[in-house]
Structure 1
Amino acid sequence: MICIQNNLLTGTLPIELGNLNNLGELDFSGNQLSGEIPVSLGACQSLQYLNASQNNLQGTIPLSVEQMKGLLVIDLSHNNLSGDIPEFLANMRGLSTLNLSFNNFKGQVPEDGIFKNASSTTILGNYGLCGGIPQLKLPPYSSHSTKKPPLRLIIAMSFGSACLLSMFALFVFFIWKKKTKLNFQAPSTISERQIRVSYAELARATDSFSSGNLIGVGSFGSVFKGKIVINNLQVMVAVKVLNLLQHGAPQSFAAECETLRCVRHRNLVKILTVCSGVDFRGLDFKALVFEFLPNGNLEHWLHQAIEVDGEYKSLDLIQRLDISIDVASALEYLHQHKPLPVIHCDLKPSNILLDDDMVACVGDFGLARFYHEDYNVSSEKSSAWARMRGTTGYAAPGEFTTTLVYH
């Protein structure tokens, strides 16, 4: 018996499964396995229980499964299997339960064997199926081809399709033109390997955290720009120093570290390393080191003209739309993050930073939380969502949506 269900296994099924001649039960449901069901599985003559549900398996059910005469239960539901339902399944007399629901099977459903019993066969969610016994309530099977549509209709449909394809091509060209320079930008000189820095190095990099290098102040700390040496190159960085006397600052530091170590996206501010130790006075010191984004935050660009190379510039409509797309991409990534979605909890223009090419990056994850669907797992998780999070005081309604485009 092999039971490895409800894990995070990835990859494809090994062909060596066929060597397990005496295996009676195989359950690898609830994983993220992909690829096709190996033909070698048919060699498992003693297998009685097969559960491969809730994976990403593709392709068809191999003909070798017909050789598995001892099968009593087959569950292949919630995959991406396709093709016709094999006729040999109806000839497997020992089969008592068959679940093929929520795949991409098509064609006629057999009416013999296990398919005679609607309570033992589940084929829901396969919208290309037809025929079968009346209890399955599928569309009737027809071997006759439908009447050909008139020539006028064919011409009209072809013209409409051509128009849609042209519009789609223009849309793709616009997106491609917008992203080309980003996709082919010079590779980062910063190594992917995490660097180690001390308080002394950060103090030297920021001129002892002088006010001249201060670029921002938040609820839990201050951000300074500085230069540190990485891979023998001097790199401009942004150092976020936590004010540990502020209530909630240690928790904010832990939340930001926990979140940023699990996520990676082009539209998220890139963290280089963290520093947790003591300063020259022996007091606790915590800081996060990010890549420096020279164009500041979105709030400044929205509410005032910015001086760039001696000229005062502001965001035009196309730039605002591009920034909206960037932020939406970051949020879509966070909200679809696996295994747990990430909720930012404090998204606002001052937490949207802009790089050299005015690409927007979401930052400040001090209030971020992983979203647990089961609120009853522990009181700690449920109470964390019961507290108010985000900007305190006044925040303009729709500031990042309506104002972003029309301000």
Structure 2
Amino acid sequence: MVFAYCFLCSSRKKRKEISLSTLGNTIMQVSYATLLKATDGFSEANLIGAGSFGSVYKGVLDEDDKAQLVAVKVFNLLRHGASRSFIAECEALRNIRHRNLVKIITVCSSVDFHGNDFKALVYEFKDNGSLEEWLHPPTGTEVLRDYVPKKLSLLQRLEIAIGVACALDYLHNHCETPIVHCDLKPSNVLLDNEMTSHVSDFGLARFLSQVTSNVSAIQSQTSSVGIRGTVGYAAPEYGMGSEVSTNGDVYSFGILLLEMFTRKRPTDNMFGDSLNLHNFVKMAIPGRVTEIADAPFLQGGTNENPNQCSARIHKVEVCLSSIFRIGIACSADSVRDRLKNINDAASELHSIRNTFLG
């Protein structure tokens, strides 16, 4: 088992690198020294992100005379829950394969040169970063050098949303034991060079019994980590002590979908006790969708005549209304009123895309 293996590897007496067979026969551990070199000493210049349990660095692995760009997630083991998060991610990723899930390349469970425990996961590097970076460009002190504004078309966002929905459908409905991601948000959706979406960060993932995947007990050793999620994206019932369920991921997906097409975070200052992202969108349907949608959706070509412009805007309005309705159905506060299966959202989004392209 991965848990037993990781426990043994955390012992400072056992320093010899061995294979992580539970992650697949072809996946071997990589040494601390190799990752140190790959990331130029985990330099700040290679830091591409930070989360609850650690930091992510861009690196270059040299294997078999081939250089491969990678993302190295280094766990801050001083942080409570980080070690369990590493185990959870190993467990979640060892048997899952899907085009819209991030792919693990190798792992490191060893010690650093000072004798401290060291754990890291190495993933394929995604050239276009996270969805968060595309939806919410840095401002003020966050502005990066040589920053180029990023734009996503309506169709690109729709394709990204479909990819995320398909990934969740796979985790919920097509794995031997259903998996709940528990932390779906824009920063955990990575985009490759073709703008295909990949769901990442399984540090809070939970395994559910096949019989009670929507209502009951967590069957994983990682259950003691506790449910945190992210404010604004975590399902309301989690805050009231409810067990993890696939319904929680459906809620997070609904919020993500609404955010993608309004470009408003669920934690935006405009939202308070009486108004949230869900209600903000719900009140605008059907007549005011263009008022709440991200402005670029309505921009047309310079050579459009009035009739073409009107037809295009109508087509966009119909598309947005359909997308927003799915987002609202997924993000209902009450589990009873919420869309029950992410597969239904994926199917509807596919139909919307086909209609939009037709």
Q: Please state which structure has a larger fraction of its residues in strand.
A: 1
Letter in 2 for 1:391: T
SS at match of 2:203: coil
Maintained 8 Å contact 1:349/1:399: no
Per-residue CA deviations over 1:57-103 (Å, capped at 9, x if unaligned) read: xxxxxxxxxxxxxxxxxxxxxxxxxxxxxxxxxxxxxxxxxxxxxxx
1:251 to 84, 93, 101: 84
Aligned counterpart, 1:201: 34
1:402 to 254, 258, 262: 258
**TM-score with structure 2 length normalisation?**
0.55
User: Does structure 1 residue 368 correspond to structure 2 residue 205?
Assistant: yes
Q: 1:271 to 1:299 in 2, by over 3 A?
A: same
Aligned counterpart, 2:229: 390
Instruction: Give 1:232 deviation, angstroms.
Output: 1.8
Instruction: Give 1:399 deviation, angstroms.
Output: 3.9
Structure 2 unaligned residues grouped into runs of 5+: 1-23, 235-251, 264-358
Maintained 8 Å contact 2:128/2:193: yes
Letter in 2 for 1:388: I
RMSD, aligned CA: 3.4
Maintained 8 Å contact 1:275/1:288: yes
Maintained 8 Å contact 2:85/2:225: no
Instruction: Give 1:328 deviation, angstroms.
Output: 0.6
| Matching of residues 229-308 of structure 1 within 5 Å | 229-304=62-137
Letter in 1 for 2:208: Y
Letter in 1 for 2:53: F
Instruction: Indicate the larger mover: 360-369 or 375-384.
Output: 375-384
Letter in 2 for 1:359: T
Q: Which has the larger radius of gyration?
A: 1
CA distance in 1 between counterparts of 2:123 and 2:206 reads 20
Instruction: Give 1:358 deviation, angstroms.
Output: 0.5
Maintained 8 Å contact 1:375/1:382: no
Per-residue CA deviations over 1:172-221 (Å, capped at 9, x if unaligned) read: xxxxxxxxxxxxxxxxxxx9932431000000110110111000000000
Per-residue CA deviations over 1:27-77 (Å, capped at 9, x if unaligned) read: xxxxxxxxxxxxxxxxxxxxxxxxxxxxxxxxxxxxxxxxxxxxxxxxxxx
Which of the pair has the greater relative contact order for Cα pairs under 8 Å at 6+ separation? 2
Aligned counterpart, 1:318: 155
2:173 to 333, 336, 341: 336
Q: 1:238 to 1:383 in 2, by over 3 A?
A: closer
Instruction: Give 1:403 deviation, angstroms.
Output: 1.7
| Matching of residues 2-401 of structure 1 within 5 Å | 193-304=26-137, 312-372=149-209, 373=212, 384=223, 387-392=226-231, 399-401=255-257
Paired-residue identity, %: 54
SS at match of 1:389: coil
Maintained 8 Å contact 2:101/2:200: yes
Q: 1:380 to 1:271 in 2, by over 3 A?
A: closer
Aligned counterpart, 1:57: none
CA distance in 2 between counterparts of 1:310 and 1:381 reads 42
